[in-house]
Structures are given as structure tokens and as C-alpha cells.
Amino acid sequence: MLVDYHTHNYLCKHADGTIEDYIQHAVAIGLHEIGISDHSPMPDHWDGEVRMNEEQFWNEYKPAVFALQEKYKDNIKVKFGLEGDFFPGTEQWVKEFLSKNEFDYVLGSVHYLGEWGFDNPIFVHRYEEQDIDSVYELYYEHIKKSAQCRLFDIISHCDLVKKFGHRPTKNMEELLRETFKVVKDSNMAVEINTSGLRKPIKEQYPSEKILAILSELKIPLTLGSDAHTPEDVGRDFGLAKEFIEKYGNGRISLFTKRQRSEVKVS
């Protein structure tokens, strides 16, 4: 069984292709499930340049996913997902938004440290203005809180802060251990996200060092390409499968209506 639980589409304004294009690619490469997980709207249209707004969610995204689930039901399982944002102060809004929808799963992502969209290439210069160790500490503090808020099912790209190649000078082992213990206590899964291989860091999220910690803590794993173009669905899953074997006991998590189950990866 092989699934891709992290895909985008044109609605977020920084990805190409319709939802159907992504599904067709998933069918073509023989995936068993594809999760549609575009960026969630945020309150008051915040950061609307890189995400759909609420009207689009209700009028386009949601109906399209359900229509396509039905259309492709003999070929592939289409899951209704979302990439949510952990942004302190918006928790109540997110909680209400999620409760109005029967998602199969919600990815929990940290894309902002304060107002700084630290994974956005247009703000990359801001890494040079700060102490990288402190950026990492703040980032993992956010990951921890994103687990503690219990709004999400899966921690996505859990070491995204490395995206542009900035590495901490301090040993982060203890901080990582502490962070992922909280993730474990929150009963979440962690995604192996292959998009890092296509970014300056040229490494999947998370690193093998973190994967070893996840394995030790018996944290379940899922798989996502974070495709922003249909051809990237399932990209580098050969490598990801090796990591699932090595660090996830050969098993991946599936989600239906926010209930987790496990299957053998193949």
C-alpha cells in the first residue's frame, strides 16, 4: 500500500494544476490513496497571496474533492485533507473551522515564526539577520505547541526550518527529543515529506537523525510529496519507503474521518 497525503493545487496560488490533475497522476503511478491537502484559509484573509480564501474553500475546494472522490472511486481513494497552520492566536478560529468539516485528516504545519514566513523564498534574507540556533529553538517551540494544541493529526515537514540550508551550530539532540516526546503524547503521526529533496537543503523532512528519534519513540509515520505540480505526486517515494522500513517498522498511517489506522508499505 502506498499513499501520498500531502498535495496542493492551483487554489493556493503557488501551485500548478487542478485537483483532478493530481489525482490522475496518482492513478498513473499506481498509488492506493491520494490526500488532497491544500493550504487552509486563515482568519481575515491573512496571507491570502499564498492560500485560498474561505469562499473558495466552501465553493470550490470542498465540493471538488467530494465530486472527485466519487468520480475516481474505482481507481483510487481520494482523501479530504487540509494543511492547517499553527499560528499562535488563531487556535480558536482553526478549531471552529475544522469542526465544520469532516476532514479525513489535517496536517499541522508551522510556516510562520511571528509574522515571518520563514519558508517563503522572498523572506530568506531574514535568516542572515538572526542567530540560527535561536531560530531553531523558536521553531521547535512552535512545533511543540502545534502538537499540544491537539488540533491536527499529522506533523508535516517537521524540520522545515532547514529548508534553505541553514544549520544550527549547537547540538539540538535534547531539544528534538523533548519536542518529539510531546508529539508522541499528543498521539500524532509524523510525515516523511520528500519535498525537501527538491529544495536547497536537498534532504527529505525530517532528517535521518530525527527519524531515529521518532523510531525510538514509536511515533507513526505517513508519506507526503508536498507536490505543488502534478508530476511531483509520489516523487522520491522509493527513498521514503526505505525510511519507512528502517524507522517505521515498514508501516504507514492512513486516516479516515480523522481516525488513524496502519498498513504495511509496499
Residues 137-176 that bind Zn ion (CB under 5 A): none
Is the CB of 37 or the CB of 216 nearer to Zn ion? Answer: 37
- Kindly indicate which of the ranges 140-148, 168-176, 224-232, 236-244 contains the residues binding Zn ion, using the contact rule CB under 5 A: 224-232
9 touching Zn ion, by CB under 5 A: no
108 or 248, CB closer to Zn ion? Answer: 108
Q: How far is CA 209 from CA 53, 119, 247, in A?
A: 37, 21, 10
Q: Does 204 bind Zn ion (CB under 5 A)?
A: no
Instruction: Name, in order, each residue with C-beta under 8 angstroms of 235's C-beta and a sequence gap of 6 or more.
Output: 194, 195, 197, 198, 225, 227
- Contacts (CB under 5 A) with Zn ion, residues 69-88: 83
Q: How far is the CB of 83 from Zn ion (least distance, A)?
A: 5
Q: How far is the CB of 264 from Zn ion (least distance, A)?
A: 26
Nearer to Zn ion, 112 or 136 (CB): 112
Query: Interface with Zn ion includes 226 (CB under 5 A)?
Result: yes
Tell me which of 109, 179, 194, 222 binds Zn ion, using CB under 5 A.
109
Residue 12's nearest CA partner among 53, 55, 50, 41 is 50
The number of residues that bind Zn ion (CB under 5 A) is 3
CA distances to 45, 63, 181, 214, 246 from 113, in Å: 18, 32, 22, 24, 32
C-alpha cell at 99: 469542526
- What's the number of CA atoms in the CB half-sphere (13 Å) around residue 223? 31
Please, what is the minimum distance in Å from the beta carbon of residue 265 to Zn ion? 21
- Which region, judged by CB under 5 A, interacts with Zn ion, from 65-73, 92-100, 107-115, 173-181? 107-115
Among 34, 39, 35, 45, smallest CA distance to 11 is for: 39
Choices 68-76, 183-191, 226-234, 235-243; region in contact with Zn ion by CB under 5 A: 226-234
- Provide the grid cell at 147: 502538537
Q: At what angle do helices 19-28 and 62-71 cross, to 10 degrees?
A: 30
Shortest Å distance, C-beta 266 to Zn ion: 25
| Region binding Zn ion by CB under 5 A among candidate stretches 18-26, 71-79, 134-142, 225-233 | 225-233
Q: In whole angstroms, how close is the CB of 184 to Zn ion at the nearest point?
A: 22
**Segment holding 264, helix H or strand E:** strand 259-264
Q: Give the residue with the Cβ less far from Zn ion, 107 or 172.
A: 107
Strands 116-117 and 112-113: antiparallel
- Residue 200 grid cell: 536547497
Residues that bind Zn ion (CB under 5 A): 83, 109, 226
